[in-house]
A and B are shown apart, each in its own frame.
Chain A
Amino acid sequence: MGIIKVRDLIYEYIRRDEEGNVEGITTAVDDVSLDIRQGDFVAILGHNGSGKSTLAKHLNAILYPTEGTVWVDGKDTRDDAAVWDIRQTAGMVFQNPDNQIIGQVVEEDVGFGPENMGVPTREIWERVEESLKAVGMYQFRKFSPNKLSGGQKQRVSIAGVIAMHPKCIVLDEPTAMLDPKGRGEVIRAVRALNDVERITIILITHYMEEVIYADKVYVMDKGKVTLEGTPREVFSEVERLKELRLDVPQVTLLAHELRREGFPMPKGVLTNQEFVEALDRCISEAGG
């Protein structure tokens, strides 16, 4: 069994008006099943309101299924006794860097998780040091979080999660509020954790450039998983993604447009290198 297994997950919430009367029921996640293997880099794509964040919050027992089951490392998230184990196993990084840093000094914030878990003082220091080093923020350990850039703050948040020694990190749009530089920093840190520490990554995003390195991509719409596969498979569906309010990387889009003009370009071109090679083949087919 993989690190995360989701079966037939449905999550509904009841909308109420100002007097508290029921206005209706919204199904935010509608019959989703996932299997995520230890060590994978998984991306979940979807436009705002597609249910991707709601799904993410199920993976570390912040939300509980209305129907269906979520297992994290073999434990059912609805089992009250397992909640703290699950939250430690599947750490979570949120969108707004300001609203998830608790400490007034970087190192104290990173120590917050281990403190809550009851880790002995000396080990907390070891964990804080190694976690800050893993995201390249060790030299900022004595800083106030208020003096850091957005990308740096998100790396501190990631360090705060790593210090809990999770098997899996769920990142809920960690780059949505960052500038391109900050986005790059965060994605590099996340990829390094996946490559080096073999931590399972579940990245929720709507930036296409961030998912081309993923092992598997799920695309959500209206609470359902509507597309899944490798990045190449998913990005082959340019028209479908556009319908889903999503982009494809510009290079994929250009290849797609050329194919529509009659060029024999392959589907799902992901990098500039692939694009150049594909164009070379077009030339030779044209009789070069």
Chain B
Amino acid sequence: MPIILDKVSHIYGEDTAMAVMALNNISLVIPDGQFIGLIGHTGSGKSTLAQHLNGLMKATAGNIYFNGEDIDAQDFDKKMLRSKVGLVFQYPEHQLFETDVFADVCFGPKNLGLSKKEIELRAYEALKLVGLEDDYFYQSPFDLSGGQKRRVAIAGVLAMKPDVLILDEPTAGLDPKGRDEILDQIARLKRETGITVLLVSHSMDDVAKYVDRIIVMNKGSVMYDDAPREVFRHYQELEEIGLAAPQVTYIMKALRDHGYDVSDEVTTIAEAREEISNYFARFAAARKER
């Protein structure tokens, strides 16, 4: 179910002196099955954009089409949209409220008016998808660790069986291991279910390893929309807007500046190791010939 944004703008406090242009004439296509990183610093409009995609915020100009239908049309079913475009907010554990984990995950499907059996089946599947052990199902969500709470909250959205999953800063406040675990889990569920995933983040390092497309936002506009290595090529421009390419890119850049003939279009540690090994292999071969 592709999402199409056609010249979407959003102005806060329109008709007042304090009007702020949060989104400025954005046109995008989000086709099925992509893994997308939506990057921008705080205030770039990335979270605002995310909330437009499931109809929580209304564009002040332009149209958004879900599966070909205008989501702002009179008879459009917003509830259906929200179940199909699942949005996980920043610090989603702050939305947990039920007495046990399982009941909390059931909240979403219950709102969809499904049968009890279907609700429980979905909740169970969702909890499995986020990798939570059965032992935790009937514990109070408030007794879990930070990382576990977050998984429960993500499961709460997954239980609605969305076609598109949007996660706003899913790693905020987690420690490095917790961050890697949650990102790996998201990548795995993307692989297993084939749904579209949109990862909203301010960290290139977080998304570089996973996504196949990066949308960079700045001051409410889309600045770049391309494959990761194409986007990172503009690392100087990215720095100017308070973002940075992955640290590995800078290491390779330093090597090139120092006269090493290595590619600087490298975004992960594994690629960098490969590239340097290859360089040395070429170097050794050249020596042998001489």
Contacts and interface: CB of A to CB of B under 8 A. Distances in A.
A and B physically associate = yes
Interface of A: 47-49, 149-150, 176-177, 179-182, 206, 208, 245-247, 249-251, 253-254, 257-258, 261, 263, 272-273, 275-276, 279-280, 282-283, 286-288
Contact of A48 (B174, B276, B283): B174
A45 to B, nearest CB: 10
B246 A250 contact: yes
Interface residues of B, number: 37
Contact of B283 (A246, A272, A286): A286
B273 A261 contact: yes
A249 B247 contact: yes
A48 B178 CA distance: 9
Interface string B201-235: 01101000000000000000000000000000000
B251 A247 contact: no
B273 A276 contact: no
A250 B248 contact: yes
Interface stretch (B26-34, B107-115, B156-164, B254-262): B254-262
A287 B174 contact: no
B2 interface: no
B255 to A, nearest CB: 6
A286 B177 CA distance: 36
Nearest to B43: A149
Contacts, number: 89
Interface of B: 41-43, 145-147, 172-178, 202-203, 205, 242-244, 246-248, 250-251, 254-255, 258, 260, 269, 272-273, 276-277, 280, 283-284, 287
A257 to B, nearest CB: 5
A179 B243 CA distance: 10
B139 to A, nearest CB: 12
Given A179-B41, A180-B242, A180-B243, A272 B254 contact: yes
A249 B277 CA distance: 20
Contact of A245 (B41, B178, B272): B178
B244 A180 contact: yes
Contact of B203 (A48, A180, A245, A283): A180
Nearest to B258: A276
Contact of A149 (B42, B145, B176, B205): B42
B247 A250 contact: yes
Contacts of B247: 249-251
Contacts of A287: 287
A254 B258 CA distance: 17
A160 B202 CA distance: 28
12 contacts: A47-B175, A47-B177, A48-B178, A149-B43, A179-B41, A245-B177, A275-B251, A276-B255, A279-B260, A282-B280, A286-B283, A287-B287
Nearest to B40: A179
B141 to A, nearest CB: 15
Contacts of B277: 258, 261
B47 to A, nearest CB: 12
Nearest to B262: A279
Contacts of B260: 279
A280 B257 CA distance: 13
B273 A251 contact: no
A213 to B, nearest CB: 16
Contacts of B175: 47-48, 206, 245-246
A254 B205 CA distance: 14
A206 B287 contact: no
Given A48-B146, A276-B255, A279-B260, A179 B42 contact: yes
A165 to B, nearest CB: 31
B242 A279 contact: no
B283 A283 contact: yes
Nearest to B177: A245
B273 A245 contact: no
B217 to A, nearest CB: 13
A281 to B, nearest CB: 13
B177 A246 contact: yes
B135 to A, nearest CB: 16
B269 A286 contact: no
A11 B203 CA distance: 36
Given A180-B243, A181-B41, A250-B246, A276 B254 contact: yes
Nearest to B277: A261
A40 B247 CA distance: 28
A279 to B, nearest CB: 7
A275 B257 CA distance: 13
B195 to A, nearest CB: 27
Given A263-B280, A272-B251, A279-B276, A182 B42 contact: yes
